[in-house]
Structure 1
Amino acid sequence: MNPLPVDPADWHAYLAEGNAKQARKRVAADVLIRDSNDSFLLVNPTYKPDWDLPGGMAEANEPPDVAASRELSEELGLTIKLGGLLVVDWVEPHGPWDDQLAFIFDGGVIDTDRATSLYPHDSELSEVAFTSYEESRTRLRPRLTHRFEAAVRALSDGKLRYLHNGISVW
């Protein structure tokens, strides 16, 4: 028998049990940042082979935009106001990983002085670089390349992209 909401303690316990049985999603939150030359900021993580967009994984119960801002601050010492959401990508389970939701936010354009002064602020990154669209596509792993391309299209037409494994759904 399910408790009714008239008994707050039983109702809370019932909801907590349901919550414990529901799936948890990993959340990645990246940021698309450009410089005044229309180049894109990429970071080179020390813990995986390919370059990446700046950002990272959300902590438990952390909103994706807050995670993206926190990661920019921790890894690059960069504080910016995020623009709109460009991409949401559902990534199926792969290897040892469960599925995840990957977000890309618009980080806007930063001026040349700020761009040239960026450097890794922790051991998770070995280097940063502003690269052309074409070079960015060659440095990113395939799934992220598709996500990156969708984010650039979203910037140009103002339409949020929703993907499954890097492939546009709408």
Structure 2
Amino acid sequence: MKPPTPTDPADWNAYLAEGNARQARKRVAADVLIRDSAGRFLLVEPTYKPGWDLPGGMAEANEAPHDAARRELHEELGLEVELGALLVVDWVPSHGPWDDQLSFIFDGGTLDEQTVAMLRPRDDELAEVMFVPAEKAARLLRERLSRRFDAAVSQLGTGYPAYLSDGRPGRTR
């Protein structure tokens, strides 16, 4: 049987929807590099997993990564930040019970001293926040995230993002 054509919109859309339902879905994470006036980086301590993390989180269905990052900052920290450049896109392979995902890191800029002084967790997903130098952040973050963080820091001010595969430089050609 021949597939329908766009000349029959109802059959064509049903045909496309069937193909769409069989395609892979990716989880999407969106984090943000935020600095204080001393150039230290914001880390957050989640309550639902061990260790430190970058602010941000998982995108909801049909939510753009940029919007997910802004939403998570608002929900968890009460921050309204104008996000800057995309710094990193990292393909993360499946691990443990998790399927693969795409992880984004955006530049969140520098917070003023008043905002930093008032910064605290705003929901039960975070226990603590702190600003640390890049070297300390790299030691506190899980290995894969630490590599992603280092890549993001190196992209600040370059005007273009890094593409990573499991936290390591990926192929772009």
Separation in 1 of the partners of 2:67 and 2:161? Answer: 19
Match for residue 66 of structure 1?
Answer: 67
CA offset digits 1:125-159 (Å, max 9, x no partner): 00000011111011100000000000000004333
Report how far residue 167 of structure 1 moved: 0.2
Pair 1:127-2:128 in alignment: yes
The one-letter code sitting in structure 1 at the alignment partner of 2:149 is F
Q: Give 5+ residue unaligned stretches, structure 1.
A: none
Tell me, yes or no, if the aligned pair for 2:90 and 2:167 is still in contact at 8 Å: yes
Separation in 2 of the partners of 1:157 and 1:149? Answer: 14
Which deviates the most, 153-162 or 140-149? 153-162
TM-score, normalising length: structure 1: 0.98
Please give the root-mean-square deviation of Cα atoms over the aligned residues, in Å.
Answer: 0.8
Give the SS at the match of 1:37.
coil
Match for residue 25 of structure 1?
Answer: 26
Q: Give 5+ residue unaligned stretches, structure 2.
A: none
The one-letter code sitting in structure 2 at the alignment partner of 1:31 is V
Match for residue 153 of structure 1?
Answer: 154
Give the SS at the match of 2:68.
helix
TM-score, normalising length: structure 2: 0.96
Separation in 1 of the partners of 2:35 and 2:20? Answer: 40
Match for residue 83 of structure 1?
Answer: 84
| Structure 1 stretches of 4+ moved >6 Å | none
Match for residue 43 of structure 1?
Answer: 44
CA offset digits 1:80-120 (Å, max 9, x no partner): 10001000000001100000000000000111111121000
Separation in 2 of the partners of 1:160 and 1:26? Answer: 20
Q: How many residues were matched structurally?
A: 170
Give the SS at the match of 1:73.
helix
Report how far residue 160 of structure 1 moved: 1.1
Report how far residue 39 of structure 1 moved: 0.2
